[in-house]
Each structure stands twice: as structure tokens, then as C-alpha cells.
């Protein structure tokens, strides 16, 4: 009798588990899809468990199409690379239009490249539209629950604490620190050039340098100083660990990944978990060792004090500090390094703009170090950076999730649907930017963003809506300083070693690095 009861319980539990999984993996997403279909929204038909992941992989593995796209990109520094890095998105957009749905695992996504809907998103102030919250542990390990991924009141509180540190007056105070970091990077580059002196002289007074590595070092120095203050030299080790974590994560496809796979102890996941523990221990030790050693508080100390003020408890506070440190690194270091790399590439490819930008820098600074007031006068350099971020936005897409049922204009978005916004596509649509959308023309920003295109809400290099990047002013100041110092010391041209191949690894990077022929001005 006991055995029969146990068997019956096992059968009942198995049926309940099956029904629950079936509901989570198919019924619930299908219900969302039904609500979208009734509004005329279409998309590729999904399969059970995989959704459209198999089709995404099939489209990506189409060697003929990929080879054609890669050849087109390699032939021009401004060619549209969207088809080479996200072939499935572009393929589906041609079939289903500016708005369509697709599925990854059990996550229902809505692709949006319609400017009218983007305007609604940019004006949407409710906390009901936030960062995607579906379970991808391998991605969460990089951002945690910091401001880059949190939602609701947790996000609102972190924004309240962190945002003031990036107000205009605070950013002006950081200019001196950034100049010091930039000078250190330039001096390092000059030292490296001196070590190649014999080769440079033999080549007629020029050197072939892989500049993206130096740009990454500069950005790391700057963000380390902002986060760790007087302990910034030791903070570099933390960022090296975070960079290793980012590389480990980038081995998987963020876009096409099935969410629950991040829970299994694969080789990559084990490496990620180990790095995550080491990063946490290192950050907390640095914050503790650096506390009270300087009159000027660093960013992580401000975040820590904000958490203590809310009486969140020691464990929550520690997570709060660690997660935001990782978020600030990715947002502040990787993105600036990406934009700086592509800016130098485009200036090297278009020497007439390089000359105009250099003339402006020399005329404004007159040989003096950059300061906040002078940086504000850099119109030409600003236009070049803005046009670079249009053609090569550091983050190729941005995502939001409907945390509750909501309406965006005439579209009803069910709770749980993720919105995918393709920045690389939006920044190159001819109907928004004109027939010259794939050309490098900084003059389009001569009258600001509102004069550059028909729909200003389609220019979103720093994201969109309330969750827009808090550090955008800091990033622009950092980029202006860097470009000003480099243009005043060097001229650049494309190296024969350079292979143009934009690549997506959480940020948009030069797959084979950026080699430039560098000459002293």
C-alpha cells in the first residue's frame, strides 16, 4: 500500500512539474505572442524550448551570405556592418518590417526600429518599463544588481545616489584628473615610440602602432581614478579581473543565448563564478583600505555611504558597491575605449576632418592643457565624436522589459515582453538620416542632434528613456580631452596591417585591433 502511494505521488508530482514547465516554456510566451499577433505584429514562428535560437544560428552560419557581408564591410570604413554581426535581425526586418517579434528560449522579444514608438519609449517615465529581468546568470555576474541592470525602487535609489556625481559641476572638477590620466597615457605612447626609434627613422619618421590597446589603458586609468581615488593603482587589478570576466562571457552569444543554460556548471560558467568571487573580494578590500585616506571621496565610497544611509545592511551594501563597480567599469571603460578607437580610425580614414579638428584644438588650447571652459569650445571635435557614435555606437542595441502591462502609443505591450532596440540600424536608416546615412559627415551635427536628422529620438548612443547612461557627460569630456591631446601631438593614417572588421563582444570593438601609422606633428 505504501509503495502504491509513493508511486502515485511521484506520478502526480511529475505531471505537475511537466505542466508547470510547459506553462513557463510555451503557454505563457504563446499567450504574449497571441496578444501581439492580434495587433498585426508578425515574426518568425518559434519552436518549443529553443524559440528562434536555432534559426538565428542557421542564418549566422550561412557562409555565402556572411562572406558577402564581411567583404562589403572590409571594403569601406563606413560600410553598414549590421548584417555581418546581427544577420538574423536584418533578415527578419526585411521580411516583417520595423516592428516584429521573435523568441529566445521562453523569452518573448519585440524588435522595434520605428521612430514613432521610440519617441514613446523616450518619454515613458514610469518604472513599469525597465531593464530585462529574465534569468541569465552568466550576464548577471557581470552587472549584478547595480544601476546598469536594476529596476523599480532599487534602481531609483541607486540613481539618486550616483547621478549627482555626474552632474556638470562634478564633471568639471574631474577634468584635471582626466587630463593627468591622459597625459600619462600619451607619455606612455611616446616612450613606446622612442623604443622604436631606430625602426621609425628607417621607415622615414613614422611608426605603426596598435592604438586601441593604449586607448583602453587610458580609459582604465580614468575610471579607476574615479572609482577608487587614491587606491586607483591597485584598482587596475580589479578591472583586469572584470575584463577577464567580460571575455569569458563574450564566448557565448548574448543575444541568441537560451536563458536557463547559465545555471549549468559548464567550463565557461565555472570560470565566470570563480572570477566573480575574486572580483567581489578585491573590491571590498580596496574600499575598506581606501576609506578615510583622502579628503575627496571616490565614487565607490559615495555609493557605500548612500547604501548605509538607507540602512540596507552590510551584506546588501557590499553587493550594492560590488555590482555598481562592475557596472561602472563596463559602462565607463569599455564604451569610452570603443568610441575613442573608432574616432581615431575615422579621422585616419578622412584626413581632411583630422586636419580641421587638429586646427581647432591648436587654436583653442594654444599649447596649454585642456580645461573645462576650453573643452566647451570644441565644436569640430564634438561633431566628429557625435558622428562616430552614430556610425559606431559603443553598444549596438539597447533592451527594455515591460514589468507591467503598458501602452506605447497604439501598441499594447504585455507584461514580460522584452523590447530590443537596434541602435546600429537606427543610426543608419536613410529615411531618418538621408541617402548619405552610411557616409562619415560630421557636419550633419553642426546644429546639434535636433538638426542632424528627422527624428532626434533615433540618435541614442547612450541609451534611451529614464535608464539612459548617467555618465554620458563624463564620457564626452573624457573623449574630448583624449582627442585634443592626441591630435595636438600626432597625425594618423590607416596602417596596411589594419583589417576592418567591427565585432560585438558586449561592446562594439575592432576584431583585429586598430593599427595606425602615427607621425609626430
Helix (H, G, I), strand (E, B) or coil at 58: helix
Contact 77, 345 (CB under 8 A): yes
Is the model's pLDDT at 258 over the cut of 60? no
**pLDDT in the model for residue 2:** 62
If you average pLDDT over residues 116-132, what whole number do you get?
90
Average pLDDT for 482-493: 88
Looking at residue 334, the DSSP 8-state letter turns out to be I
470 pLDDT higher than 60: yes
Could you give the CA distance from residue 466 to residue 151 in angstroms, rounded to a whole number?
A: 11
- Which cell is 176 given? 584635471
- Higher-confidence residue of 343 and 268: namely 343
Who wins on pLDDT, 190 or 442? 442
Q: Are 349 and 500 in contact (CB under 8 A)?
A: no
**Alpha carbons 477 and 474: distance in angstroms, whole number:** 5
pLDDT digits (tens, 9 = 90+) for 50-91: 899 999 999 988 867 777 777 878 889 999 999 888 999 999
pLDDT band for 356, please (50, 70, 90 cuts). very high
pLDDT at 177 over 70: no
Confidence of residue 153 (pLDDT cuts 50, 70, 90): confident
Residue 471: band (very low, low, confident or very high) from pLDDT cuts 50, 70, 90: confident
The pTM score is 0.85
Give the 3-state secondary structure of residue 438: coil
Residues 460-478, mean pLDDT to the nearest whole number: 83
What is the rounded average pLDDT of the residues 296-309? Answer: 68
DSSP β-bridge partners for residue 411: 408
To the nearest whole number, what is the mean pLDDT of the chain?
Answer: 82
> What percentage of the chain reaches a pLDDT higher than 90?
37
> 104 phi and psi, to 5 degrees?
-120, 110
Q: How large is the average pLDDT for residues 253-257? A: 50
Confidence of residue 165 (pLDDT cuts 50, 70, 90): low
SS (H, E, C) 451-518: HCCCCHHHCCCCCCHHHCCCCHHHHHHHHHHHHHHHHHHEEEEECCCCCCCEEEECEEEECCCCEEEE
- Which pLDDT tens digit goes with each residue over 325-335? 777 777 777 88
Q: What's the mean pLDDT in 333-359?
A: 95
Determine the Cα–Cα distance for residues 245 and 113; give it in Å rounded to an integer: 31
Count of alpha carbons within 13 angstroms of residue 151, beta-carbon side: 15
CA atoms within 13 A on the CB side of 276: 18
Of residues 117 and 221, the one with the higher pLDDT is 117
Q: Is the pLDDT of residue 424 over 90?
A: yes
**What is the predicted pLDDT for the residue at 280?**
86
What percent of the chain has pLDDT above 70? Answer: 81
Cβ-based neighbours of 40, under 8 Å, separated by 6 or more: none
What are residue 272's phi and psi, to 5 degrees? -60, -45
Average pLDDT on 350-374 reads 90
Q: Is the model's pLDDT at 191 over the cut of 60?
A: no
SS3 408: strand
Provide the pLDDT confidence category of residue 185 given band limits of 50, 70 and 90.
very low
pLDDT value at residue 15: 81
* The pairing of beta strand 418-422 with beta strand 107-112: parallel
User: How many residues does this entry show for the chain?
Assistant: 521
Using the predicted structure, report yes or no on whether residue 196 has a pLDDT greater than 60: no
- CA-nearest of 241, 187, 237 to 214 is 187
pLDDT confidence bin for 41, thresholds 50/70/90: very high
Query: 241 vs 89, which has greater pLDDT?
Result: 89
Amino acid at each position: 500500500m505504501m509503495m502504491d502511494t509513493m508511486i502515485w505521488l511521484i506520478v502526480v508530482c511529475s505531471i505537475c512539474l511537466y505542466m508547470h514547465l510547459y506553462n513557463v516554456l510555451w503557454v505563457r510566451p504563446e499567450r504574449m505572442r497571441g496578444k501581439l499577433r492580434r495587433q498585426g505584429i508578425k515574426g518568425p514562428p518559434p519552436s518549443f524550448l529553443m524559440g528562434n535560437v536555432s534559426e538565428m544560428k542557421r542564418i549566422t552560419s550561412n557562409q555565402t551570405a556572411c562572406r558577402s557581408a564581411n567583404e562589403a564591410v572590409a571594403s569601406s570604413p563606413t560600410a553598414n556592418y549590421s548584417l555581418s554581426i546581427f544577420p538574423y535581425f536584418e533578415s527578419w526586418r526585411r521580411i516583417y518590417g520595423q516592428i516584429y517579434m521573435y523568441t529566445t528560449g521562453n523569452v518573448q522579444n519585440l524588435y522595434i526600429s520605428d521612430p514613432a514608438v521610440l519617441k514613446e519609449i523616450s518619454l515613458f517615465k514610469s518604472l513599469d518599463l525597465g531593464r530585462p529581468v529574465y534569468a541569465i546568470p552568466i550576464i548577471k555576474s557581470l552587472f549584478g544588481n547595480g544601476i546598469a541592470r536594476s529596476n523599480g525602487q532599487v534602481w531609483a535609489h541607486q540613481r539618486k545616489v550616483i547621478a549627482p556625481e555626474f552632474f556638470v559641476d562634478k564633471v568639471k572638477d574631474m577634468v584635471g584628473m582626466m587630463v593627468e590620466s591622459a597625459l600619462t597615457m600619451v607619455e606612455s605612447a611616446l616612450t613606446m615610440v622612442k623604443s622604436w626609434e631606430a625602426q621609425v627613422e628607417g621607415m622615414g619618421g613614422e611608426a605603426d602602432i596598435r592604438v586601441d590597446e593604449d586607448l583602453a589603458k587610458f580609459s582604465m586609468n580614468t575610471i579607476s581614478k574615479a572609482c577608487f581615488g587614491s587606491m586607483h593603482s591597485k584598482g587596475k587589478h580589479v578591472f583586469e579581473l572584470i575584463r577577464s570576466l567580460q571575455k569569458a562571457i563574450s564566448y557565448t552569444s548574448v543575444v541568441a543565448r537560451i536563458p536557463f543554460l547559465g545555471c549549468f556548471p559548464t567550463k565557461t560558467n565555472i570560470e565566470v563564478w570563480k572570477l566573480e568571487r575574486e572580483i567581489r573580494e578585491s573590491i571590498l578590500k580596496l574600499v575598506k583600505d581606501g576609506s578615510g585616506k583622502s579628503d575627496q571621496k571616490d565614487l565607490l565610497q559615495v555609493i557605500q555611504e548612500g547604501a548605509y544611509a538607507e540602512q540596507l545592511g552590510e551584506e546588501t551594501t557590499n553587493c550594492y558597491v560590488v555590482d555598481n563597480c562592475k557596472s561602472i567599469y563596463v559602462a565607463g571603460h569599455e564604451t569610452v575605449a570603443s568610441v575613442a578607437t573608432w574616432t581615431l580610425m575615422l579621422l585616419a580614414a578622412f584626413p581632411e576632418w583630422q586636419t580641421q579638428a587638429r586646427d581647432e584644438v591648436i587654436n583653442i588650447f594654444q599649447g596649454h592643457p585642456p580645461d573645462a571652459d576650453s573643452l566647451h569650445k570644441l565644436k569640430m571635435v564634438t561633431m566628429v565624436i557625435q558622428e562616430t557614435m552614430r556610425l559606431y555606437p559603443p553598444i549596438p542595441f539597447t533592451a527594455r522589459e515591460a514589468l507591467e502591462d503598458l501602452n506605447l502609443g497604439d501598441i499594447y505591450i504585455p507584461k514580460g515582453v522584452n523590447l530590443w532596440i537596434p541602435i546600429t540600424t537606427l543610426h543608419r536608416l536613410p529615411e531618418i538620416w538621408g541617402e548619405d546615412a552610411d557616409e562619415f559627415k560630421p557636419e550633419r551635427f553642426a546644429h546639434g542632434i535636433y538638426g542632424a536628422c528627422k527624428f532626434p529620438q533615433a540618435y541614442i548612443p547612450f541609451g534611451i528613456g529614464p535608464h539612459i547612461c548617467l555618465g554620458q557627460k563624463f564620457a564626452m569630456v573624457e573623449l574630448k580631452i583624449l582627442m585634443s591631446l592626441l591630435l595636438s601631438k600626432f597625425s594618423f593614417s590607416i596602417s596596411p596591417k589594419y583589417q576592418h572588421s567591427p565585432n560585438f563582444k558586449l561592446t562594439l570593438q575592432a576584431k583585429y585591433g586598430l593599427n595606425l601609422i602615427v607621425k609626430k606633428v
